[in-house]
Amino acid sequence: SSGLTQDPAVSVALGQTVTITCQGDGLRSMFVSWFQQKPGQAPMLLIYAKNKRPSGIPDRFSGSSSGDTASLTITGARAEDEADYYCNSRDSTGNHPVIFGAGTKVTVL
Amino acid sequence: QVQLLESGPGLVKPSGTLSLTCAVSGDSISTDKWWSWVRQSPGKGLEWIGEIYHTGTTNYNPSLKSRVTISVDKSKTQFSLKLSSVTAADTAVYYCARDYGVYDLNVGYYYYMDVWGKGTTVTVSS
C-alpha cells in the first residue's frame, strides 16, 4: 500500500454509531491497526490485525475490512470518544514498510 | 508493564543533528519486535520515521532516509534516533513505540504498535 486515505472529519450523535474508513491499494487487513489520539496524548492502540482489541479497549470499538478498505466502528459513541483516529499498515512488499493514514477527527455531538 | 521513555534535547539548531533516545523498561529488545520512531508536527498527523530490529536491521521512511539513523543498544535496552540537517519542518513531538510481532499461519508475522512513549517535543530554531 503506497498511501492510506481517511476522511478528514466525521461527526456522530451521542450514543449513535459511526464508521471510519481507511483505504489503500493492496491493503492487507491483518496488517491494519487503528489508534486513538486525544489532544496532548500519545496515540493508543485500539484495534490490530483487522479486528482484535488489546486488553482494556471497550468492545464498542470494532474493526473490519473489505477489499482495500479497513473500517473502525464505534457503536454507542460516548463523549470521551471525541478524538483523532489513525489507521496504520505495514507493507511487506513495498518501499514504505510502515504508513499511517492522515487521520479522522471524530466529533461527538 | 512495558514502558518507553524518550529523552533528548528539546531545542536543536537548524542544520544540526537531532538526537533522541528511547529507554525500554519491562521488556527485552532482543526478541521478535521492531522498535519504531514516529513524529507529529504541530497540528498534523502521525509520520513514521523508521524502525530497528534487535539484529540491527533497519527500515526508514523513504522521505527521510537520507537523514535518519536508528541504532540499538541492547546492553542498555534502549534505541536511538539521529536526524541530520534539520530544519523548522522537523519541529515535532517525537514518539518511540514497540511494534509487537505475532506469527500467523496464513500471513506470517504481523505487527502492531502496542506500547508508546509519552513523546518528547523537539523544536528546531536558532
Rounded to 5°, the CA angle B30-A101-A87 comes to 60
What is the structure's pLDDT at B118?
Answer: 98
Cβ–Cβ gap A98/B99 under 8 Å? yes
Burial degree of B38 (CB within 10 A; 0-12, 13-18, 19+)? buried
CA distance B47 to B77: 24
pLDDT at residue A35 is higher than 60:
yes
For the residues B101-124, what does the mean pLDDT come to? 91
Cβ–Cβ gap A98/B95 under 8 Å? no
Cβ–Cβ gap A31/B114 under 8 Å? no
**Structure confidence by residue, pLDDT tens digits, A37-46:** 999 999 999 9
Q: pLDDT: is B40 or B56 the higher one?
A: B40
Reported for A58-65, long-range contacts at CB under 8 A and 24+ positions apart, including other chains, are: A61/A34, A63/A32, A63/A34, A65/A27, A65/A29, A65/A32
CA distance B100 to A14: 34
The verdict on B35 touching A (C-beta cutoff 8 Å) is no
Cβ–Cβ gap B46/A100 under 8 Å? yes
The CB density around residue A18, as the number of other CB atoms within 10 Å, is: 19
What is the structure's pLDDT at B74?
Answer: 75
pLDDT at residue B80 is higher than 70:
yes
What is the structure's pLDDT at A2?
Answer: 60
Cβ–Cβ gap B114/A86 under 8 Å? no
pLDDT at residue B30 is higher than 70:
yes
What is the structure's pLDDT at B51?
Answer: 95
What is the structure's pLDDT at B76?
Answer: 75
A44 contact residues in B (CB cutoff 8 A): 116
The verdict on A99 touching B (C-beta cutoff 8 Å) is yes
Contact map slice: B 63-92 vs A, CB within 8 A: none
